[in-house]
Structure 1
Amino acid sequence: MYPPKPEPTYPPTMALPPTTGIPVSSANQYFAPTGPAAFQVHSQEPVPWSTGLCDCFDDCGNCCLTCCCPCITFGQIAEIADKGSTSCGVSGALYALVMWVTGCPCLYSCFYRSKLRAQYSLQESPCNDCLVHCFCESCALCQEYRELKRRGFNMAIGWRANVERQGQGQGQGATLPPGIQGGMSR
């Protein structure tokens, strides 16, 4: 009486959206072409952080540095999270400025925790990113630093040197911009 139901497939396929110039992927999905007119959607489940919020004994040196001068640790994290678009020095200086003007640097740093979680599909734990930074600023920065370090980044050398060390971005999905050859000529 009724036509047979098609078998559900995983991942579900969807028609190619019209070309608008607006990116179609989000932090929790990516699209892989399967044919000329279809994409597959894969949902990524959030994974836990590689260390706990209070596991500072894993890296006592960074813990001490973060307690004394959190702007340095934040600058290193921000440079990697921004994939080199901002330098460690600029990000650290902005963090120090926000801390000096407002007394609450978590207003700035919590956005980078959210950015890291989106990039690496990490769980929002133990609570909201802003609350973690508001009540445990140093612990949150140390946890983010340890996460990046365990993912293969050498935090002391910055984004560009990490990309070069990893073979022009293989392994992290990053690319460097092409070098500029010379000025314009006629």
Structure 2
Amino acid sequence: MPEKFTNGPFGCCGNPGGCGTCCMTACCPCYAFYTAAEDIGDSNGALYCVATLLGFGPCMLCLLADKVAQARNIDQGMPMHALCACCECVTCFSCAVVNEAKLYKEQSGAPGGQKIEGR
């Protein structure tokens, strides 16, 4: 497993999602966060979606990024997630998180990823 996000800052059109994931994340982050949660087996996808719609997108991005990092064994703490979320308009961090969730789903071989436990 990687030690950092495969598609880091400015890598929003990277594999496996490509430009489609970038467009979906930019136009409808609530759905992108929902699908990312589903890809890693997190049952809180609806929470990420609704909270993003209510204006808590950066907070949900931090929480989702932490869950994706745990699932992929990436050593990146919450302060770094928060910094990346604050610089979202420049770094495309949400695209990196969604792509990393897709990579987890592909590598785990499970239809919805494997179930992970919440904190």
TM over 0.5: yes
Matched, 1:73 2:7: no
Say if 2:14 is the partner of 1:55: no
Q: Which runs of 5+ in 2 are unaligned?
A: none
Structure number with larger C-alpha Rg: 1
Residue 140 (str. 1) matches residue 93 (str. 2): yes
TM-superposed deviation, 1:85: 2.1
Q: Which has the higher contact order (CA 8 A, sep 6+)?
A: 2
Q: SS where residue 56 of structure 1 aligns?
A: coil
- How many residue pairs align between the two structures? 108
Q: Distance in 2 between matches of 1:173 and 1:78?
A: 11
> Which residue does 1:93 correspond to in 2?
50
Distance, in Å, in 1 between the alignment partners of 2:60 and 2:105 is 25
| 1:162 partnered with 2:111 | yes
The structure that is strand-richer by fraction is 1
**1:108-166 Cα deviation digits (max 9, x unpaired):** 320221122122221328x711111121167111101111222344xxxxxxx814xxx
Check whether the contact 2:2–2:73 (CA below 8 A) recurs between aligned residues: yes
TM-score when scaled to structure 2?
A: 0.70
Answer yes or no: is 1:151 the counterpart of 2:104.
Answer: yes
Contact 1:79 1:91 in 2 (8 A): no
Q: TM-score, normalised by structure 1?
A: 0.48
Unaligned runs of 5+ in 1: 1-44, 154-160, 164-171, 176-186
Identity of aligned residues (%): 24
Name the SS for the 1:162 alignment partner.
coil
Structure number with higher helix proportion: 2
Q: Pairwise CA RMSD of aligned residues?
A: 3.0
Q: Does the aligned pair in 1 maintain the 2:8–2:93 contact within 8 Å?
A: no
For the 8 Å contact 1:49–1:123, the answer to whether it is kept is: no
